[in-house]
A and B are shown apart, each in its own frame.
Chain A
Amino acid sequence: MTNTYGFGRILISIGVAMCLRIAPLPFHLDIYNPDWVLMVLIYWSIGFPERVGIFHAWSFGLLTDVLTGRLLGQYALAYSLVIYICLKLHKRLRHFPLLQQELFIFACLLLSQLLLFLIKNLQHPAQLHGDFWWPVLSGTLCWPFVYLTLRFVRLSKPVN
């Protein structure tokens, strides 16, 4: 029972999230593809705050930067800030009902997207249109799915 026990599960779930992130969706559904990686990171940081820390979020953010071809550090910054908030509030968040959790997730995704928007605007201003914000909403709607799936993954074999 070392500190890294159960980390394989976390890695695999994040790998799946990264695959979903770049999966091509039919019927122009791409603009609604939410930030799966961030949602999975939020779940694990609330569930295992002692295992998924800010540096993990930062590293996976850097990988997401490479994955989606952004400037390096963009997602790393957004993810580490969001996970910081989750770690600070994790004791309270665990007792939230699902609906209240959704509100929190909405705020988190919005914060992350806002940071990305600001960084993007520094590069070349006024290039994005309204579709940029859809993933925040779709991510919020997908949260119960992520939550229940990962809960199943977590409880399928007792961790401690």
Chain B
Amino acid sequence: MPQGLPSYPKRPPNRLISRTTTIKLLFATGPSINTRLLVAVIASVALLVTEQRGGQRLDFLRAGLSLLIEPLKHLVDMPSAMVTQTTESMSSYTVLKKDNERLREEQLIQQTRLLKLEALEKENIRLRALLENSFKLGEQVLIAELLSIKMAPYEHILVVNKGTRFGVHPQQPVLDANGVVGQVFRALPLSSEIMLITDPNHAIPVQVNRNGLLTIAVGSGELNRLLLPFLPSNADIRPGDLLITSGLGGTFPQGYPVATVDEFTTQPNKAFASITATPTAKLDRNRELMIVWSKTMPVPLINKSDAPEPTPSATEQHHD
């Protein structure tokens, strides 16, 4: 045998040792710790930049990872869910009966109001048709239950138990029985995150119900306060005025109550008045919220069943 032959086969490969040995490894295998850090840092920076620039591009990754931690959210929510459940099941017969009666009465009153509303709606459509104006009508709602989780202390973001599996998508408006709560900020497969209207990063286009004055309400970071920073000192707005959604911007459907104005102070040294308002929705007390789908298709001005032979002017409108 020639002497210069390499002696590879005699020495077992390193990997074999690491797999079979039972003693603690003295020398770490694989890339060094510095290389690993470099890889980790590059990967995180790449993720950060991609999401900051690209917006929706990493949603699939987030959705996948969220499935892993979904059980944790429900685990954290369990104590408060159990408390509500037990208080519900422990309530006495008389209380239940009283509740039932009250709800029945309420239902009757609401139903009669709705009857009137339907007539009003029809009238509104007719009037709009006279004005040659399109009209958006009808919303579909999904009831979602809140998970009592606090994601970040200085942000007003709630988590609810309905996600993209139910067709929820970002920027959907969220309401409760008393008014606008916020909008869907991020939809995950099994849950979604909702930004409240009081979050400092949130703004909602509103209008004063009394006179139609348009402005924007910005979140203050406190749960019971909105700010109206863009109105001049001589604006026609008073404490007690109801603010409703104006429908501008397209996120929120028009005409839902948002807040009532409680303070109007003029600032002599500034161009704008300082106005605060209180949200009408019970932002911190509700466990059930409604996610809204507004129908984006405008209702045709003249119903086909009403007018089987449209006049020439009506067909022109349809083409517009």
Contacts and interface: CB of A to CB of B under 8 A. Distances in A.
Contact of A50 (B25, B46, B152): B25
A45 B80 CA distance: 34
A54 B36 contact: yes
B33 A54 contact: yes
A24 B150 contact: yes
Contacts of A141: none
B90 interface: no
Contacts of A24: 76, 80, 148-150
A76 B22 contact: no
Interface in B71-89: 72-73, 75-76, 80
Interface in A71-129: 71-74, 76-77, 80-81, 84, 87-88, 119, 122-124, 127-129
Contacts of A50: 24-25, 28
A137 to B, nearest CB: 14
Contacts of B28: 50
Nearest to B221: A129
Contacts of B61: 72
A66 interface: yes
12 contacts: A15-B72, A25-B150, A54-B33, A66-B69, A67-B72, A70-B152, A71-B48, A72-B58, A76-B43, A80-B41, A127-B201, A128-B154
B33 A66 contact: no
Question: Which 6 pairs of residues, A with B, have the shortest CB-CB distance?
Answer: A73-B47, A77-B44, A80-B40, A73-B44, A30-B153, A73-B48
A140 B293 CA distance: 46
Contacts of B153: 30-31, 33, 131
B210 interface: no
B37 A31 contact: no
A67 B47 contact: no
Contact of B200 (A55, A57, A72, A127): A127
A69 B52 contact: no
Contacts of B37: 54, 80-81, 84
A7 interface: no
Interface in A116-160: 119, 122-124, 127-129, 131-132, 160
Nearest to A77: B44
A81 B33 CA distance: 11
Contacts of B66: 66
A66 B303 CA distance: 48
Interface in A17-65: 18-19, 22-25, 30-31, 33, 50, 53-55, 57-58, 61-63
Nearest to A58: B40
Contacts of B46: 73
B186 interface: yes
Interface in B1-47: 22, 24-25, 28, 33, 36-37, 39-41, 43-47
Contacts of A88: 33
| Chain B interface size range | 35 or more
Contacts of A81: 37, 41
Given A73-B46, A131-B154, A54 B40 contact: yes
Nearest to A30: B153
Given A71-B52, A80-B44, A63 B154 contact: no
A131 B150 CA distance: 15
A58 B44 contact: yes
A69 B193 contact: yes
A129 B155 CA distance: 12
Interface string B190-211: 0001000000110000000000
Given A66-B62, A67-B69, A22 B151 contact: yes
B36 A23 contact: no
Given A68-B151, A72-B51, 9 more contacts: A22-B72, A22-B151, A58-B43, A61-B44, A68-B152, A73-B51, A76-B44, A77-B40, A80-B37
Nearest to B22: A1
Interface in B143-178: 148-154, 157
Nearest to A20: B76
B219 to A, nearest CB: 12
B69 A77 contact: no
B120 interface: no
A63 to B, nearest CB: 6
